[in-house]
Structure 1
Amino acid sequence: MEGVNDVTPTDQDWLVDFRGVELRRGGKTLVGPVDWQVELDERWVIIGPNGAGKTSLVRMAAAEEFPSKGTAFLMGEQIGKTDMRDLRALIGISSAAVQSRIPENERVDDLVVSAGYAVLGRWREEYQDMDFSRADEILAQVGATHLKERTWGTLSEGEKKRVVLARALMTNPELLILDEPSAGMDLGGREDLVGYLGDLAMDPDAPAIIMITHHVEEIPYGFTHAMLLDEGKVVAKGLINSVLTSENLTRAFHQPIQVDRIGQRYFARRASL
Structure 2
Amino acid sequence: MEKIIKLENVVWRRDGEEILKDISWEVDHGEHWAILGLNGSGKTSMLNIIMGYNYPTAGGVSVLGTEFGKASLPEMRKKIGFVSNALGKFQQTMNRETIENIILSGKFASFGIYEEITSEDERRAANILKDLRLEYISGKRYAVLSQGEQRRVLLGRALMSQPELLILDEPCAGLDVLAREDVLSMTESVAEDTLPLLYVTHHIEEITDAITHVLLIRDGEIIAKGPKQEVLTTENLSAVYKIPVRMHWEAERPWMSVERPQKESR
Q: Same fold (TM over 0.5)?
A: yes
Counterpart Cα distance in 1 of 2:144 and 2:202: 27
User: Alpha-carbon deviation of 1:101?
Assistant: 2.4
| Partner amino acid, structure 2, of 1:52 | S
Q: 1:9-37 deviations in whole A, cap 9, x for unaligned? A: xxx43011100112221111222321011
Which residue is equivalent to 1:71? 60
Counterpart Cα distance in 2 of 1:34 and 1:244: 19
Does the CA-based 8 Å contact 2:217-2:223 persist in structure 1? Answer: yes
Which residue is equivalent to 2:46? 57
| Partner amino acid, structure 1, of 2:41 | A
**Alignment of structure 1 residues 125-140 onto 2, 5 Å:** 125-140=115-130
Counterpart pick for 1:44 among 33, 46, 61: 33
Counterpart Cα distance in 1 of 2:52 and 2:138: 29
| Identity across matched positions, percent | 33
Does the CA-based 8 Å contact 2:148-2:183 persist in structure 1? Answer: no
Unaligned runs of 5+ in 2: 262-266
Count the aligned residue pairs. Answer: 259
When residues 140 and 99 of structure 1 are mapped into structure 2, their CA distance, relative to the original with a 3 A threshold, is farther
Q: Secondary structure at the match of 2:24?
A: strand
Which residue is equivalent to 2:135? 145
Does the CA-based 8 Å contact 1:106-1:122 persist in structure 2? Answer: no
User: Alpha-carbon deviation of 1:100?
Assistant: 1.8
Q: Secondary structure at the match of 2:96?
A: coil
Counterpart Cα distance in 2 of 1:144 and 1:63: 32
Counterpart pick for 1:183 among 158, 173, 186: 173
Which residue is equivalent to 2:242? 254
Is the aligned partner of 1:81 residue 2:82?
no
Unaligned runs of 5+ in 1: 1-11
Q: Secondary structure at the match of 2:8?
A: strand
Counterpart pick for 2:152 among 162, 168, 192: 162
Counterpart Cα distance in 1 of 2:53 and 2:136: 32
Counterpart pick for 1:121 among 112, 125, 129: 112
Which residue is equivalent to 2:264? none
Which residue is equivalent to 1:97? 86
CA RMSD of aligned residues (A): 1.6
User: Alpha-carbon deviation of 1:121?
Assistant: 1.1
User: Alpha-carbon deviation of 1:272?
Assistant: 4.4
Q: Secondary structure at the match of 2:173?
A: coil
| Partner amino acid, structure 1, of 2:211 | F
TM-score of the pair, normalised by structure 2:
0.92
